[in-house]
């Protein structure tokens, strides 16, 4: 057995990184595996180089976050003091008194901050989790390598989590397995000049196509005028199987109607399959083990935005809960 770890975390999004950070601060050795090339999950920031003009930067997953929970608020206070996040505004159609926070250099920067110093292995797709026979887990990657752990935390979207846990001998609740997710089709648009049509830089549900329009230049993360468009779940589902070029072209046409004072000069089309869970599990994480109501060979936890809520705050709180529980079982 190679590359042994006390705990393996599957998924390098907010929940996974938060769980790994919590465990590390409690003195537990942790390895995080993520199938992507970078960290963050829904905290995704894309850079587009525009010849002769510079760099456009887009947040194309989570756009901002709010604070409701005191514990999360304490974390946000630390992040602000460190310059990692800042307040953007207090509403998009007037001041409603609730701060909207953003990462100072794009939302992916927050994931990088949480993951700093952790043992994170990207481009590492977990294929299965199975009992090893000695009260621990074997985590197998798609390259055939096997990694032993005394505990596992899985934070991928629930359909993916279920598929890799089929070999774990854990009977998950049916209502959890059947959780579906809304989809999002997105357009990242570079403009020929600034736009004043988006106020402080964001509009929510402006019509029957888009759920979000965000001006990344007004937000302060892009040197060039760069706007993120998210189609709403209904429109995204209807057009999910459209030919990519056709869907891209249609989104550009529809987006242009919201830009009366600017023109789209370059754009990219994105598909986000597991954007938002349609149902939320009542607990901050799901736990299984020899002493739990859900039996498992060794400690196992599921966490993520389908547990404590489909927002940045929920993912962080779910990761904290999973990390705390796992530390108590080791």
45-69+180-277 CATH, one of 3.40.50.1370, 4.10.520.10, 3.90.660.10, 3.60.130.10 = 3.90.660.10
Residue-level pLDDT at 43: 93
Identify the burial level of 173 via C-beta atoms within 10 angstroms of its C-beta, where 0-12 means exposed, 13-18 middle and 19 or more buried: exposed
Residue-level pLDDT at 51: 85
Domain 2-37+122-179+281-329 in this protein, CATH class: alpha beta
- Quote the CA–CA distance of 244 and 241 in Å, as a whole number: 8
Residue-level pLDDT at 1: 33
Residue-level pLDDT at 94: 85
End-to-end Cα distance, the chain: 20
Q: How is the chain split into domains, by residue range?
A: 2-37+122-179+281-329, 45-69+180-277
Question: Do 2-37+122-179+281-329 and 45-69+180-277 agree at the fold level?
Answer: no
Q: Which two tokens stand for residue 113?
A: 């901050």
Q: Which residues contact 102 (CB under 8 A, 6 or more apart)?
A: 59, 63, 64, 65, 85, 86, 88, 219, 220, 221
- Quote the CA–CA distance of 279 and 180 in Å, as a whole number: 7
- pTM for the full predicted model: 0.94
Residue-level pLDDT at 5: 64
Would residue 161 be called left, alpha or beta, if left means φ above 0 and alpha means ψ between -120 and 50 degrees? alpha
- Quote the CA–CA distance of 252 and 255 in Å, as a whole number: 5
3-state secondary structure of 99: coil
Residue-level pLDDT at 38: 87
Residue-by-residue pLDDT tens, the chain, 330 positions: 334 569 999 999 999 999 999 999 999 999 999 999 988 988 999 999 888 888 999 999 999 999 999 999 999 999 999 999 999 999 998 888 899 999 999 999 999 999 999 999 999 999 999 999 778 999 999 999 999 999 999 999 999 999 999 999 999 999 998 999 999 999 999 999 999 999 899 999 999 999 999 999 999 999 999 999 999 999 999 999 999 999 999 999 999 999 999 999 999 999 999 999 999 999 999 999 998 889 999 999 999 999 988 899 999 999 999 999 999 998
């Amino acid at each position: 057995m190679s590359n042994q770890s006390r705990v393996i975390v599957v998924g390098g999004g907010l929940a996974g990184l938060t769980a790994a950070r919590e465990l590390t601060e409690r003195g537990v050795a942790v390895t995080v595996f993520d199938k992507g090339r970078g960290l963050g999950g829904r905290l995704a920031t894309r850079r587009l180089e525009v010849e002769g003009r510079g760099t456009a930067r887009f947040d194309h997953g989570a756009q901002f976050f709010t604070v409701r929970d005191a514990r999360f608020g304490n974390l946000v206070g630390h992040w602000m003091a460190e310059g990692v996040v800042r307040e953007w505004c207090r509403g998009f159609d007037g001041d409603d008194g609730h701060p909207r926070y953003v990462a100072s250099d794009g939302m992916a920067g927050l994931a990088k901050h949480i993951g700093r110093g952790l043992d994170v292995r990207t481009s590492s797709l977990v294929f299965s989790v199975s009992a090893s026979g000695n009260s621990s887990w074997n985590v197998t990657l798609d390259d055939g390598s096997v990694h032993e752990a005394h505990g596992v935390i899985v934070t991928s979207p629930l359909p993916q989590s279920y598929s890799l846990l089929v070999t774990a001998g854990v009977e998950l609740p049916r209502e959890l397995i059947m959780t579906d997710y809304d989809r999002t089709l997105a357009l990242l648009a570079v403009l020929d000049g600034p736009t004043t049509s988006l106020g402080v830089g964001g509009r929510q549900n402006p019509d029957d196509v888009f759920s979000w329009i965000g001006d990344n230049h007004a937000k302060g993360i892009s040197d060039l005028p760069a706007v993120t468009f998210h189609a709403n779940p209904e429109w995204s589902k209807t057009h999910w199987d459209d030919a990519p070029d056709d869907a891209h072209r249609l989104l550009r046409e529809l987006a242009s109607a919201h830009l009366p004072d600017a023109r789209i000069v370059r754009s990219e089309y994105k598909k986000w399959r597991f954007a938002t869970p349609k149902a939320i599990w009542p607990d901050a994480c799901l736990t299984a083990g020899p002493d739990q109501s859900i039996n498992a060979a060794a400690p196992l936890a599921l966490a993520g935005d389908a547990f404590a809520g489909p927002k940045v705050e929920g993912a962080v709180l779910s990761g904290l809960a999973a990390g705390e529980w796992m530390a108590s079982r080791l």
